[in-house]
Structures are given as structure tokens and as C-alpha cells.
Amino acid sequence: MYLRVTAFHRSSIPTPSTHLPVLFGTYSRRNPTASFLGLLLNVLAFLACIDFVYRSHVLHRSESLVFSRTGYVDSTSARIVLRDPSAQRLQLTYADATGSETTTLKIPALTETSDYTATLQLTGLRPGTRYFYNTTGAQAGSFLTSAPGAKKFSLISTSCQKPFYPYDPLSHSLGIQGLHHPARYAEEAPPDFVLFLGDFIYSDLPVQVAPLTTQFYRQLYRQVYASPSWTRTLRDIPWIHVFDDHELVNDYFPGMAGGKAMYARAMDPFEHYQRAANPPRPDNDARKTYTQFRRGDASFFVLDTRTYRAPPPAKADGGTGTRTMLGAEQLDELLRWIVAEEGWKVVVSGVPMTRNWSKGADAMDSWAGYLNEREIIFRALWRAGGGVIISGDRHEHATVKFRPPPGYPDSHTIIEFSTSPLSFFYLPFLREYVPHEETVFNLPHGASKFGHLTFDSSDEARWTIGFELVVDGEKAWNYEHVWERV
């Protein structure tokens, strides 16, 4: 918001009868009532802007937040994230529904170093069993271990959420309206886990309200987890997290001015609140935020599309060239994973792989700016029988197919499901999506969107993925992708 001060020559100073423009209406000596209403609207609009931008930053820093949530869960282990800034030493007790075997863990002292968080790993669990836990800090929850060999499972995929949007002066400034929809959906058809593909926080929208320090980034995570929109059901579902640009700053890449120092500050809270609860890396290298995990007959590779990326090209230059988004080491691991894994190969990307969002100013921020590296990945997937891509970021939904080149059967097709935002703006009039690549379905409208995917491999010859698109709480589209096993 800017104020412009104009200097007048004495001869140009308005006389009392002149109408003075304001944001709403004009001032007129002849109509004081209308002038007063115009002034009142201007004041209210200004106060609404200040309230929207600064209320949570000033009144809800959430330093005293106490919460728990479920991280990655497999058949024999689970990860629980806790935060409690009290000075007491805590314990966590967990047991199955029968209560016949109860285990108590001492929680390490929670200190300011980790913003009073800890991620606990519970091991030696029984497959296909619901466990309940509680802490001496009055936190409680439950989780369900997976059943080995299961032929069917489901997940929710989405990204991008902003508290206090859309603006309502009577609502809580930490309310996340879009969370209500997956909460209700999960009560009826709980997914096995949630893939949240970045922009969990927004450090810079609608404006940057503080310097991008570690303390400020931590505050943004606390405020999201302190939202009154969370339900116990949502906290009990395993959440797997990817970070994208707004966990740092818009269109982040390491080579931008101050990028590496910013990255270190932003990764501190991401590590404590999210990465530590993600699936463990095969080599247990905590420096790397990309990882792998399996569920049923599907193997997932969760990409890091920010840490290693080269500067994006200018839009006029196009997306071809030798630049990398993944870095050599991550790309090599991904290619070896494609060759080694059996069954579905699911690549999880914070930004879309399709180049169909080509009209926006940040079109090169997606894989459209890194087409040569994308081609290397696609060719590996086509050779291995096809694949599935799950992505977010663009505040729209698109399902896109990438057909294999001649010489491969059509069953080797790659399909991408890209869905967002969970709770933020969309562009109702401006269209940035141009179908350069085969579009199955595109839907821009809706301030809350998520996808519900059901993987079913019970028929050995015909594996399917059922996809439901949920927009503003209503099922807007469904699709079945069939993988004919040849």
C-alpha cells in the first residue's frame, strides 16, 4: 500500500466547492452525508487491510503452542511430532485398543534449540493395528499401522494454504477454511496418509511482515499448527511433507541473492516440524530432504525440487538446456530407484511436471524450465513401464498424460495429478493454462482443492488408480486410470 503526496501551486489549490477524490466516492460540500459515508468506507477498508495483514503477527505468535501430530507410519513403526514449551519433563505412553501391552517413553528435554519440538519414533509395533497415545503434557492421539501385503490404499494430495483467507473480520486470524473439507472427508473415508506438497506456510504473502529470520519462520509454522481449524482426525492421519518456495520466498533457488543463508534459516523449522517425521531415507542421511517409501504395491520417491536447482531460464529462452532441478546426486538416485523398484512408481514433486501452465510470469519455476532433465526422467519411466506423478503448487487442478514414444506400448504412459490449493486464492478470470500436453481434465476454480487417490492392485492383470477431485468440499470430478499389466 502506497501513499502519494502531490505538491500544489497556490493557484491550483482546490476551492471549497471542488470535489476531492477518495477511494470510495468523493467529498462534496453540497452532500455531506455521502461524503461522510465515503470517508467511513475508506477508513474501514484501510483498517481491514491492516487487520488482514497484521492481526495474527501481532496477536497470535503462538509461543505457548502445545500440540501433537502423526508423521510417517509403516507396518511396525510410527513417528509422532510433539511441541510443549513447558519446563516439565514429559513422557509418552502408547498401547493398542486392548491396552494389554503399554509402553512408556521418556521424552528428551524440549528446548528452544528445536523450538520446543521433538519427533519420537515408536518401534516394534504390530501391523494393521490402531494404537493410542497420550503424554504427561495432556496431548493424546492415535494412529493405524499399515498391513503388509495390502492390495488397496488411499491418500490425499494437496498443497498451499494461508490462514485468514478469505478475509472475514469475525473469524479467527489463524483459521484455515480449507482444512474443514478434508476433515469432513476423512471422517467418512479416512485416507491412509496425506501428501502435502509445499507452501504449508507463506513467508511473503500477502506481504512480508517481518525479516526472514529463523524465529519468523518458526512463528509461521506455530501459527499454522495453532489453527483452530485442525481436528483430532486430521492430526491422527500420517502427514508427509514436501517444502516448496513459500517455505522460503517466492520462486526460490539457491543462486538468488542471499539464497543460501535464507535456506539455512528456513530449513531449521522445516526440519523440526516436518522433515524429521517424514519417511526415513534409505541411507539415513539427514542432510537430504528427498526420500523414498513403499505402501502396498507402490513405491514413492519424494523429490526435493528447491535445494539443488539451477537458476531458471528467462521465459523467452524456453526450458531446454542442461540446467538441473534435482542436482546430479538426487537425479542419479531417482534413476536407480526407477530401475530397481517393482510395481507402481510414484514420483512426488512440489512443482508440476507438465509445461501446460505456460502463460504465467513464473512459468519457468516449474519443470517447464528444466525440460531436458524432465526428458531424462520420462524416458527412464517409459522404459520401466510407465509411472505416476503427484504434484501441487499452481492453485488449479490438472490431470495430464505423457504418452510414450513409438516402440513402447501405450500401457507405459505416465500420468500426472496436480492439485492445489488446499486453502488460498485462485485466478477466476486470468488463464495461465495452455494444453501443450495431453490434458485429461483441468479445473481452475475453487479456493479449496484436494485429490483423493485410491491405489488398487487386487487384480493382477489390471491395476487401477481411482481419483476424486474435491473442490470447496464437493466432489467435482472423478477418473479411473488403468495400468494394464503386460
Global pTM reads 0.92
| 477 part of a folded domain | yes
| 1 part of a folded domain | no
Q: Which domain holds residue 104?
A: 60-108+119-148
Of the candidates 105, 138, 99, 108, the residue with the CA atom closest to the CA atom of residue 122: 105
Average pLDDT over residues 336-353: 98
- Model confidence at 196, pLDDT cuts 50, 70, 90, reads very high
Q: What distance in Å separates the CA atoms of residue 433 and residue 354, rounded to the nearest whole number?
A: 10
For 50-60, what is each residue's pLDDT tens digit? 999 999 999 99
Question: What pLDDT does 35 receive?
Answer: 72
Residue 268 has pLDDT above 70, yes or no: yes
- Domain match, 184 and 138 both: no
| 47 part of a folded domain | yes
For 199-249, what is each residue's pLDDT tens digit? 999 999 999 999 999 999 999 999 999 999 999 999 999 999 999 999 999
Residue 343 has pLDDT above 80, yes or no: yes
Residue 323 has pLDDT above 60, yes or no: yes
- Domain match, 231 and 309 both: yes
- Domain match, 162 and 72 both: no
- Model confidence at 11, pLDDT cuts 50, 70, 90, reads very low
- Domain match, 124 and 235 both: no
Q: What average pLDDT is seen over the chain?
A: 93
- Domain match, 47 and 78 both: no
Structural domain count of the chain: 3
For 89-116, what is each residue's pLDDT tens digit? 899 999 999 988 899 999 999 999 999 9
- Domain match, 31 and 53 both: yes
| 3 part of a folded domain | no
For 404-426, what is each residue's pLDDT tens digit? 999 999 999 999 999 999 999 99
* 477 or 35, which is more confident: 477
Question: What pLDDT does 26 receive?
Answer: 56
The last residue of one of the domains, among 43, 59, 75, is: 59
Kindly list the distances between the CA atom of residue 190 and the CA atoms of 154, 156, 207, in Å, as whole numbers in the listed order: 8, 9, 36
Question: What pLDDT does 2 receive?
Answer: 36
- Domain match, 141 and 276 both: no
Q: What distance in Å separates the CA atoms of residue 263 and residue 309, rounded to the nearest whole number?
A: 13
The distance from CA 184 to its chain's CA centroid, rounded to whole angstroms, is 19
What percent of the chain stands above pLDDT 70?
94
Question: What pLDDT does 137 receive?
Answer: 87
Question: What pLDDT does 189 receive?
Answer: 86
- Domain match, 125 and 50 both: no
| 246 part of a folded domain | yes
CATH of the domain at 334: 3.60.21.70
| 211 part of a folded domain | yes
Greatest mean pLDDT among 39-48, 355-364, 385-394: 385-394
Question: What pLDDT does 406 receive?
Answer: 96
| 114 part of a folded domain | no
Average pLDDT over residues 327-351: 98
Residue 10 has pLDDT above 70, yes or no: no
- Model confidence at 485, pLDDT cuts 50, 70, 90, reads confident
- Domain match, 76 and 192 both: no
Residue 153 has pLDDT above 90, yes or no: yes
